[in-house]
């Protein structure tokens, strides 16, 4: 917990844990986009539109990460749900591709 003078803690341990988990999910999504960007850039004929979309998504995720406030429990929970779902979907797609 972080203390604020006489007012007490600014956030709870549960908020801090959820916030860190949300940041980790966002970072995982950004890493996935970075991997896709690298793969696309190394293709014989990179798709400029696909690259632009991936870069936009990367910037959007970074903006969400920057704006996330540890004390905004509802937003942290929403980001954690959404970005964790994105990671799970990506991982499932990769597993399916490897199995094929």
pLDDT, tens digit, for every residue of 28-71? 999 999 999 999 999 999 999 999 999 999 999 999 999 999 99
List C-alpha distances in Å: 98 to 18, 65, 94. 32, 30, 6
SS3 content of the chain, % helix, strand, coil (to 5): 75, 0, 20
Record the tokens describing residue 78, joined without a space. 């929403």
Residue 4 has pLDDT above 80, yes or no: no
Residue 61 lies inside a defined structural domain of this protein: yes
Confidence (pLDDT) at 28: 98
The answer as to whether 7 is a domain residue is no
- Range of the structural domain that residue 44 is part of: 13-99
Note the pTM of the prediction, 2 decimals.
Answer: 0.87
pLDDT for position 8: 80
In a domain, 57, yes or no: yes
Residue 39 covered by a domain = yes
**Count of structural domains, the chain:** 1
Q: Is residue 92 part of a domain?
A: yes
Q: How far apart are CA 92 and CA 47, in angstroms?
A: 24
| Comparison of pLDDT for 67 and 7, the residue scoring more | 67
């Amino acid at each position: 917990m972080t203390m604020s003078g006489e007012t007490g803690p600014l956030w709870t341990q549960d908020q801090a844990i959820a916030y860190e988990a949300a940041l980790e999910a966002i970072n995982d999504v950004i890493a996935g986009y970075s991997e896709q960007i690298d793969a696309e850039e190394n293709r014989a004929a990179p798709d400029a539109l696909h690259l632009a979309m991936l870069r936009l998504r990367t910037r959007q995720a970074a903006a969400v990460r920057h704006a996330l406030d540890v004390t905004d429990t509802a937003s942290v929970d929403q980001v954690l749900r959404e970005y964790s779902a994105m990671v799970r979907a990506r991982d499932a797609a990769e597993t399916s591709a490897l199995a094929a």
